[in-house]
Structure 1
Amino acid sequence: MKLLYSIHKYDVFMTIWLLNVKMHGSLAKFSRYVSRTGDGQLYLLIIGLLYWQQGLHSPLLQAILLGFLVERPIYFVLKNSLKRNRPAAALQNFRSVITPSDQFSFPSGHTSAAFMMATLIGYFFPVLMLPLYGWAAMIGFSRVVLGVHFPTDILVGVILGISTALFSLGYSI
């Protein structure tokens, strides 16, 4: 219990510090745009383009579909069984910049999906790996800036996304 309390204290400290940084207003505006790239429409576009170009025989398409078939249920079970409140519900006098799509914060679904996609696409196109991981990291960071996640929500999202991508690659290729 003491470890969980220490982690929570760290999360609260980092969240409040970030939201009190002088440039938070500019970061929040930029973060809205970055966060939207992880809402899911981009993933559907990539899936559609892969299907249109290569059909179901595309190894990348197969890896993405398997990845989401594994990642989304794990994410859903973790989020709805652990039921960690979002910063706005956990902290007094705190308001998020945006309204989240659901009640709980742990883990970050935006981050897990972004890191899964970055890992999968980067595997097939290695020259894109660093920019993709940079984009995925910005999505995770944006979720904290927007006040809808704590830093450890993002960390677990990274682990979940990369793990499911590696699992998917192991079974689809």
Structure 2
Amino acid sequence: MSWEVQLMEWLQANIPGPLILLISQFSAFGEEFALVAVMGFVYWCHDKEFGRKIGLLVCSSLILFPMIKNIVFRIRPYMEHSSIKCLRPVEPDADLMDVDAQGYSFPSGHSANAATVYPGIVIFGKNKNRLKLVLSIILMLLVGFSRVVVGCHYPTDVLCGWTLGLAMVFVISFLYKKIKNLNVIFAMVAVIGTIGVFYCKTSDFFSAYGILFGLWLSIPFEKKFVNFESTRNPVSSILRLVGGAVVFFALDELLKIPFGKEFLNSGTMAAHLVRSGRYMLAIFVSLAVYPILFKFRIFSLEVPERREEVGDGIY
């Protein structure tokens, strides 16, 4: 709609460059890396069972919204209007006009992901409070606003992304209450996702499809062969998170080596399936095999117990 283009042109023309750069950084909180990092932190450090539920929430969002995009086929604003600049492409190394790499516009996946994951963590968590919910909503709004400012989404893309993301929270919450076996919900998401394999053309869908199966396969393996304990120690938490990020990205890069860059960026079904396989293996190793290291003391330090003075003794 014309008002959307006019609004985006006005924002890019009137917001100072340094402020646009700052605003654009909030897009990162709706991207795949941030969502996987959130899942990893909760899983490796806080509570692995809760982490698996958040992981399923992340995968549901990352899979289902690209499936909608690949039905609507709305082109990104900067692809249609030369007056709008793309200030934060989805794939920096790919051609800005390459739809397979940059994805479609409707709905905003970043906005939907932020609306699904951050409020979802608060709603599904044990320690709920109003401040956490308000902060999660503010972060969701900032992510969506940033997508308009950087020229990657129309305002209506963002509004629909927020709506669909919040709806996803309530759908998954309903399923958690009605279905106690997490494998059944994984299977439901996998079946729906498999439909997308036959018509989705964008790489974001196939990344998420691989993440889903990597997470699902990691659960029985970790329970049988690893069974690590959570930690609340800040040092151990940081080491686990940093180590997990290194393992994931190193594996992802290593798995690219047998394939040429041209093939990986070709947009063919074979390239997409290789992408799914890469992500599946990288996530599986990160969640199921890497935690074996947590048996070393440095990864499992305990928080010192508080001591109280009673009379002349310390207990």
TM-score range, shorter chain: 0.7 to 0.9
1:171 aligned partner: 175
Q: Which runs of structure 1 show a deviation greater than 4 angstroms over 4 or more consecutive aligned residues?
A: none
User: 3-state DSSP class of the match of 1:20?
Assistant: helix
Matched, 1:110 2:110: yes
Query: Deviations for 1:1-58, whole angstroms, at most 9, x for unmatched residues?
Result: xxxxxxx12221221222222x2413321123211232232322222232233222x2
Equivalents in 2 of 1:50, 1:94: separation in Å? 38
**For the aligned residues, what is the CA RMSD?**
1.9
Are 1:96 and 2:86 an aligned pair? yes
Other-structure match for 2:11:
18
**Quick check: 1:144–1:151 contact (8 Å CA) kept in 2?**
yes
- The 1:66–1:17 alpha-carbon spacing in structure 2 relative to 1, beyond 3 Å, is same
Gaps of 5+ in 2: 92-101, 178-315
Secondary structure, counterpart of 1:148 in structure 2: coil
Once the two structures are superposed, residues 73-126 of structure 1 have per-residue CA deviations (whole angstroms, 9 ceiling, x without a partner) of: 321121111111111111134321122331311111111111111221221333
CA contact (8 A) 1:83 1:104 kept: yes
Q: Which residue of 2 aligns with 1:76?
A: 66
Match of 1:3 in 2: none
Q: Is this contact kept in 2: 1:119–1:129, CA < 8 A? A: yes
Q: Distance in 1 between matches of 2:37 and 2:103?
A: 27
SS at match of 1:104: coil
Other-structure match for 2:40: 48
Q: CA deviation at 1:62?
A: 4.6
Opposite residue 170 of structure 2, the aligned amino acid is L
Corresponding pairs, count: 162
**Within 2, Cα distance between the matches of 1:122 and 1:83?**
33
In 2 relative to 1, CA 26–78 (structure 1 residues): closer, same or farther, beyond 3 Å? same
Structure 1, unmatched stretches of 5+, are 1-7
Greater Rg, structure 1 or structure 2? 2
Cα pair distance change 1:54/1:94, threshold 3 Å: closer
Identify the residue that residue 2 of structure 2 maps to in structure 1.
9
- What letter matches 1:133 in structure 2? I
Alignment TM-score, normalising by the size of structure 2: 0.48
Q: Distance in 2 between matches of 1:44 and 1:14?
A: 32
Whether the 8 Å contact between 2:120 and 2:169 is mirrored in structure 1 is yes
Larger RCO: 1 or 2 (CA < 8 Å, sep 6+):
1
Contact preservation (8 Å) 1:97, 1:146: yes
Aligned-residue offset at 1:164? 0.6
CA contact (8 A) 2:107 2:160 kept: yes
Identity of aligned pairs, percent?
A: 25
